[in-house]
Structure 1
């Protein structure tokens, strides 16, 4: 065999070996991509948000290692089976939102409170745990963004219940979800101008907040993907949540009305 033929055979062999290595590398990349895809799916499962209604205005949100108590009331027994709070959001000074006896019964030494100034003044013993937000301000805590939204009355006969600037509604951004808790309010401009809300928890009880008609009109304005009527026990009547659903469905069938059990001990 002459030198030229030997050189040609060596070149062909080198090319063949290189192709095999490329194919092997492609296989390794495919396996890595598969592992990454599985990891991303697992991560997506980890970021699922669980929302548990407790009673009236009280709820628990759970996401990854974060546990958010909204207006914790009802005593420690009400939270039996729930994980300890890492964040506590309180909307107002009234007893169905701020209940100091309940706070004393819960294990909340490691929790951060988000509150308006009026609530902070009622909680001097928790001063080091408080983050105070005024209407329109926001704060990121533990990877969660919390925006304070105004909540107040509009009807002249209800102005004595909630004046503007005292309490907070909240928009909570968790991952790609924006969740709104109205607190005690009427269909105020600040609610109607909300954008990109995935889940809206909207109050409707007389004489303290608003009618189901006003609540429905506001929801049809800001168009959340889902709306959860809550805080609907009034004095003396309970608001007609079925009528609220009818009004929202008639106005925009793309908005899903979700009814949770906010009064487990009552026949509502």
Structure 2
């Protein structure tokens, strides 16, 4: 694992309530974060929890936008919106209503929930579908739970993750998932966004094991409220994949 000085982890002792996991307390980077591709730079802005904005050479992509239009007021306007699934921290109709009327990609369940007028600009992608968005190749991959007491949160076949190929690099948005066989089998991933919080997605150990299996060059823990990111970084290092762990500031208001 390569932890750059800019992304170094500093864990401060914190007073935590009983039963809470320790949290990353310092050295969270506000970004934005730039990744070079042969087509041009991809600039990534962490907005909140699972919401982010990507500036790509082909246009601006909003991923799972929630929190109202004010959360995006200082960011470039979208050319495309991606939604992984229906939960309120990923799909928020009032936020969508307040954003520009641009093309959207959603899983089938979210498409069915949208107002009729909005459905006219939606491309529906189910698990395994491929296509293009902003002239970029995109794949919808499965995102689901595999642990018995978590199956109700994200049933197999309903929700999406996405892989976008930008220039010569493949970028993974895992969505709300555990370390499924499909996730572990991925190859040639440059940048990966992996969730880790209970009871909804993965433990930090599961996420680190997934990193060991599919070996992205860079991994961002996201959707990690309450998770021990120091333990994740150490587990990634122990796994020997060589992945760089980037700790972005997903909780700018301190509510992590």
Q: The TM-score by the shorter chain falls in which range? A: 0.7 to 0.9
Q: Which has the larger radius of gyration?
A: 1
Whole-angstrom distance in 2 between the partners of 1:214 and 1:141: 31
Q: CA deviation at 1:96?
A: 0.4
Instruction: Determine if the alignment matches structure 1 residue 115 to structure 2 residue 106.
Output: yes
Q: CA RMSD in A?
A: 1.6
Q: How far apart are 1:45 and its partner, in Å?
A: 8.8
1:112 is displaced (CA, Å) by: 1.2
1:45/1:219 Cα in 2 relative to 1: closer, same or farther (>3 Å)?
A: closer
Deviation at 1:49, TM superposition (A): 0.6
Runs (5+) with no aligned partner, structure 2: 1-36
**1:257 maps to which of 226, 245, 248:** 245
- Aligned counterparts of 2:138 and 2:177: Cα–Cα separation in 1: 18
Q: Secondary structure at the match of 2:152?
A: coil
> Between Structure 1 and Structure 2, how many residues are aligned?
220
The 4+ residue runs of structure 1 with deviation greater than 4 A are: none
The answer to which structure has the higher helix fraction is 1
Any conservation in 1 of the 2:215–2:241 contact (CA below 8 Å)?
A: no
Q: Looking at both structures, which has the greater relative contact order when contacts are Cα pairs under 8 Å and sequence separation is at least 6?
A: 2
Check the 8 A contact 1:216/1:248 in 2, yes or no.
Answer: yes
- SS of corresponding position for 2:234: helix
Write the distance in 2 (CA, Å) between the matches of 1:118 and 1:125: 16
Instruction: Say which of 62, 72, 75 aligns to 2:68.
Output: 75
Report if aligned partners of 1:152, 1:164 keep a CA contact under 8 Å in 2: yes
**TM-score w.r.t. structure 2 length?**
0.83
Match of 1:98 among 81, 91, 99: 91
Pair 1:50 & 2:43 matched:
yes
Q: Residue 145 of structure 1: CA displacement?
A: 1.1
| CA–CA distance in structure 1, aligned partners of residues 241 and 82 of structure 2 | 31
- Aligned equivalent of 1:203, options 177, 195, 202: 195
1:185 and 2:177 are equivalent in the alignment: yes
- Provide the residue aligned with 1:136 in structure 2: 128
What's 1:19 paired with? Answer: none
Q: How far did 1:46 drift?
A: 7.2
Calculate the TM-score normalised by the size of structure 1. Answer: 0.79
